Amino acid sequence: MAKHPRMILYLDKVQELLKVFPTFTIQQVPRAENAHADALASLGSALDTQFRRLISVEHLDQPSIEEAEQRT
């Protein structure tokens, strides 16, 4: 269950998209096996622009999901 308003929007989007697939599998990836993805996520959210000189990083000024009216 998502709690943060933006994460609720992502969860809603995923649930909407899952209706298109006849079957799907969700698999948890152990943290030890997810180090590269974690490093990329940290790099992408880093405020230091020095990293952007070494690695091509696209910075999104807005989330990829528009925030709607807040749920109650």
> pTM of this prediction?
0.44
Total Cβ atoms within 10 A of residue 43:
14
Tens of pLDDT, residue by residue, the chain (72 residues): 888 888 899 899 999 999 999 998 989 988 888 888 888 777 766 655 555 556 666 777 777 777 665 555
11 in Cβ contact with 71 (< 8 Å): no
CB 40 within 8 A of CB 56: no
Domain segments of the chain as ranges: 25-61
